[in-house]
Amino acid sequence: MILLVVGCARGAEGIRRDIPYDDSHASQKLDLYLAKSAEPAPAIVFIHGGGWRAGSKKHVPGFLRKAHAEGWLTVVSVEYRFTNVAVHPAQVDDCARAIQFVRQNAKEWNIDPKRIGVTGGSAGGHLAAYMALQDDEAEAASKDPVERQSSRVLFAIPFAGPTDWRLLSRIAHGHPAYRQLIGYEPGTPASEMAADRIKDVSPVSFVSPDDPPVLIVHGDADRVVPIEHAQVLEAALKKAGVPVELHVIKGGTHGVSGAGGKAAVRADAYMRKRLGAP
């Protein structure tokens, strides 16, 4: 499938909205916050949360908006198909395609294709981790120039993201979206869910020594995505020799609510270091 950028005019403060990165569904669009840089700028892809069934690319975190306003960072905020349209792996496919699309247009948008990170919260945290850990989606022989691009990222910062669906059978998870994402009804017992679906939806399944660095941010009072998800991923990455940091927000609930500015400050510092901010 070949998709080119046509007629996306630069808006206020270098913002371009609703750029289609694919054409199979109306939700497959991204917003682009362009850096004010003479040299190719680093970029970060933001993936919003909402249980894979809600949310909006309009809700870009403050620390990303601040970095963009400073002029050195391009922010790409991605919309993706929700589970009422298609279940996993549609969301993963969309986010990977969006990253490939950014690389395909890197020259036009003055982006350094070697400096692209990813972040997101909750469902977006799951997808951000997935982008970092899955194999490269590039298909060298594809007729679609976007598909020939790499989907790899320089680093990932997942906030409160689910990482291992095996945990559903061990500890309580107070949200039906986990099951809906892989095509099950909300009340389906974990024991009745197919092992291959559980494995394929879990980012931890794809950990390998060549993965990029990861900063995991999670609240230890999260009841929607228990902190065990962060701990399991941290352990797997350490075992594989991948640089990983786990930043635990004491008393932080889902989405690290109650953390004040601590989570954002930590993520911002990590992002600036990895992207070589001025």
Q: How many domains does the chain have?
A: 1
3-state SS assignment for residue 47: strand
For residue 97, tell me if it sits in a domain. yes
For residue 3, tell me if it sits in a domain. no
For residue 6, tell me if it sits in a domain. no
Joined together, the tokens standing for residue 255 give 């989405």
> Tokens 């840089």 map to which residue?
37
3-state SS assignment for residue 172: coil
> What gap in Å lies between CA 9 and CA 65, rounded to an integer?
20
For residue 245, tell me if it sits in a domain. yes
Q: CATH number for the domain including 30?
A: 3.40.50.1820
- For residue 106, the enclosing domain spans 12-275
For residue 113, tell me if it sits in a domain. yes
Please state, for a pLDDT cut of 70, what percent of the chain lies above it.
93
Indicate the pLDDT class of residue 119, thresholds 50, 70 and 90.
very high
Q: Is 220 exposed, middle or buried (0-12, 13-18, 19+ CB in 10 A)?
A: middle
Which amino acid does the sequence have at 251? G
Task: Give the mean pLDDT of 80-92.
Answer: 99
For residue 4, tell me if it sits in a domain. no
pTM beyond 0.85: the answer is yes
257 has a pLDDT exceeding 70 = no
User: What is the crossing angle of helices 62-69 and 262-275, to 10°?
Assistant: 40
> What gap in Å lies between CA 158 and CA 128, rounded to an integer?
6
Report pLDDT digits (tens) over 97-108. Answer: 999 999 999 999
For residue 188, tell me if it sits in a domain. yes
Provide the β-strand partners of residue 31. Answer: 77
> What gap in Å lies between CA 208 and CA 161, rounded to an integer?
19
User: Which pLDDT belongs to residue 71?
Assistant: 97
| 14, 83 contact by CB (below 8 A) | no
User: Which pLDDT belongs to residue 261?
Assistant: 81
